[in-house]
Amino acid sequence: MDVQIESSWKENLAEEFEKAYFFELVKFVKQEYSSKTIYPPARLIFNAFNRCPFDKVKAVIIGQDPYHGPGQAHGLCFSVMEGVAFPPSLVNIFKEIHDDINAPLPKNGNLERWADQGVLLLNATLTVKAHQAGSHQNKGWEQFTDAAINKLANHRDHLVFLLWGTYAQKKGTFVDRSRHLVLESAHPSPLSANNGFFGNKHFSKTNQYLEEYNIEPIVW
């Protein structure tokens, strides 16, 4: 199947695109976009991959679903376009960055600036029905994104995996801790941020690890 995705990812995930589950997933997603309001816009489904080629990845942040409100999702987990109000989890992420490395609070929530530096902002499920969280789970996206994480974990070295919350931690269980840095904490959601997300210092720890291996740190 000819999937419109960045060339290095297309090469690394080529076998996934030929599997039966992916053909079924594509059929489902096309039907959904043709008949319902689905986020993100179709051209941005693979935005996380397109902004961050396979060999440029330094860190991986795993989310669950795209935002399901109008104008929010654009294919990068936790990120919203300029002019869109910060969702609560993103507010807490920026607060932790400020407290951790004393970075100023940003004027917008568009995290393309991270993606362009090598942060793969990957949702486990890449599409969602408007106003229905989880509506595209268990359709095949999770198998696809597991394959992407697995490929990175097995074919790259010295990556940082930031796993916030139980869901992300389960998705990263197979990452070799001796080969990569795996940082785990509570999710930045207001429901759980006070249970260990605040104070996790994941952003300074990420950069410290990258610098140990002479990798350019992330400007958070």
Burial of 48 (C-beta count, 10 Å sphere; 0-12/13-18/19+): buried
128 is written with which tokens?
């969602």
Strands 38-39 and 128-129: antiparallel
Q: What is the DSSP letter of 134?
A: T
138 is written with which tokens?
């268990």
Q: Quick one: how far is CA 149 from the chain centroid?
A: 10
Dist CA 78 CA 89 (whole Å): 7
Active-site positions?
Answer: 65
Dist CA 10 CA 12 (whole Å): 6
